[in-house]
Amino acid sequence: MERNLKNRKVILGLSGGVDSAVAAVLLKEAGADVQALHMTNWEDEDGYCTAAEDLQDARNVCEQLQIPLHHVNFAKQYRDRVFEYFLDEYRAGRTPNPDVLCNREIKFGVFRDYAKRLGGELLATGHYARTAVVADQPVLLKAADLNKDQSYFLHAVSADALAETVFPLGDLQKDEVRRIARDYGLAVHDKKDSTGICFIGERPFREFLSKYLPANPGPIRTPDGREVGQHHGLMYYTLGQRQGLGIGGRHDSSDAPWYVVDKRIDDNALIVDQGDTDLLLSESLVATNPSWIGVAPAALAEGYRCMSKIRYRQEDQACTVENAADDTLLVRFDTAQRAAAPGQFVVFYAADHCLGGAVIDQIRPVITHDNEVQMASIR
C-alpha cells in the first residue's frame, strides 16, 4: 500500500472470508483507524446462501482484531440494480456477468455512500488489484498475483471511487495472504474461497433460474438442421458449453465432443457442432456501453492498439479498438477468439493498466468457405 494511512479512517468491506480479514490486518499495521462494514446482498430461505455463516466469521475477525463492525442490508438495491439486469440478460438469450455490476453499483456505489455516512475517508476491500496516480488521475492496475487478479471485475468502477479506495492485497500473493491469516491465528485462514455467483451459491444453476424465468424447451440442431436432441431452455446454455447437453454417444455421429455454437431465439433452437469447430471462432466483436476509467483513449477514432480479455483468467489478447457509433465499439483481434459470449465483458489493458471495458453485444465469426455455408444454414 503506497498511501499514508496513519490515523486515517478507513471503512473496510469485510465479507467473512480470508482476503478481507487479512486486509483488516494490513490496514491496522499501517496505522489506519479501521472500521469494518459487512453487507448482506441476498436474502435466501433455501439454505444455499452462507450469509449467516459469513456474518459470524466477520464478527469473530473483528472481535479478535478489536475493530468495530457495522452490518447493512443492501438486498433491495442488489435486486433492483444487479439481479433484475441479470434476469433481463438471460431473457434476451445472453450470458451476463453480475459481478461487474455488483462492484460498480453495490460495493463501489451504495456501499461507498454508506461508508461516507460512517465518516470514512477511504474505502478498502479484499480485492486483488492495485491503484496508482498517473498524471494526477487515479488508475486501476492488475494485482501482483496475476492468478488472482480481479481487475477484470473492477473495470466499470469509476475513477472517483478508485481515488478513494485502498486494495491492501494488491502487492501480495495468495499464499502470503493465507500465511498472514495463520500467523494471526485467524480462524478463516483456511476458509474456502467463494466461487461462482454469490446469490446462487452451491445450488444447481438450472434449479435457481427456473424460479424466476419459465423454462422453454426446444430442439437441439446441428448447423445443417439435423435435430439431435432437446434442450431445457436456451437460458441454461452459453456459447462454447460442452457439458450437460445430453447428446453424446449418438450412433449417427462421431465420438468427438459437442459444443454450443449458437442460440437461435427466433425458433428457440440450440445449435451445436462437434469437435474443433471453427463456428466458435470470432475475428471481431461489437461491444456496447463502454466504461472507461477516467477518459477514453484518444486514438479510438482511428483505432487504438491495446490488449484485452473476453473472460476472467484469459491471457491478454492483442486487439484494435475503435468507435463504431455512439456507445458502441468495434474490437478486432489479432488472433481469432474462441467462444466469445454476448452479455459478457471485453476488458481492455495497456500492460498492467486496466483501461475499462464494454458489454459484448455481437460476435463476428471467422469466415471460411466451409463455415460460411454452415453459418448460412444456422441463420
CA torsion, ordered 237, 240, 246, 251, to nearest 10 deg: 150
Quote the cell numbers at residue 233.
Answer: 431452455
Residue pair 140/131 in contact by the 8 Å Cβ criterion? yes
Residue 78: strand, helix, or coil: helix
What pLDDT digit, counting tens, does each position of 305-327 carry?
A: 999 999 999 999 999 999 988 89
pLDDT of the residue at 66: 97
Q: Is 240 exposed, middle or buried (0-12, 13-18, 19+ CB in 10 A)?
A: middle
pLDDT at position 368, please? 58
Q: Is the dihedral of CA 112, 113, 114, 120 positive or negative?
A: positive
> What was the pLDDT predicted at 194?
76
Three-class secondary structure of residue 291 per DSSP = strand
Burial of 196 (0-12, 13-18, 19+ CB in 10 A): exposed
C-alpha cell at 240: 462454447
Q: In terms of Cα–Cα distance, which of 203, 195, 100, 76 is closest to 155?
A: 100
Active site residue 354: no
> Can you give the pTM of this predicted structure?
0.92
Spatial separation of the C-alpha atoms in residues 327 and 329, rounded to whole Å = 7
Domains of the chain: 9-190 (3.40.50.620), 214-276 (2.30.30.280), 279-378 (2.40.30.10)
Give the type of residue at 112. R
Low-confidence ranges of the chain (pLDDT < 70): 1-2, 45-49, 195-203, 249, 251-252, 367-379
What is the gyration radius of the CA atoms in the chain, in angstroms?
22
For residues 236 and 209, the answer to whether their CB atoms sit within 8 Å is yes
Please give the pLDDT value at position 135: 87
Residue 62 main-chain phi, psi, to 5 deg: -65, -40
Q: List, in order, residues 6 or more apart from 230 with CB less than 8 Å away.
A: 217, 218, 219, 220
What pLDDT score does 46 carry? 62
Catalytic entry in 198, 306, 319, 354: 198
Q: Which three cell numbers stand for residue 55?
A: 456474518
102 catalytically annotated: yes
Among 102, 306, 319, 354, which one carries the catalytic annotation? 102
Residue 89 cell numbers, joined: 440478460
Helices 18-29 and 174-183: crossing angle in degrees, nearest 10, is: 70
Task: Write the CA distances from 166 to 1, 4, 96, 108, 170, integer angstroms.
Answer: 7, 11, 27, 12, 9
Which residue's C-alpha cell is 463504431? 324
For 208, the grid coordinates are: 435457481
Q: Is the dihedral of CA 151, 157, 162, 163 positive or negative?
A: positive
pLDDT at residue number 3: 80
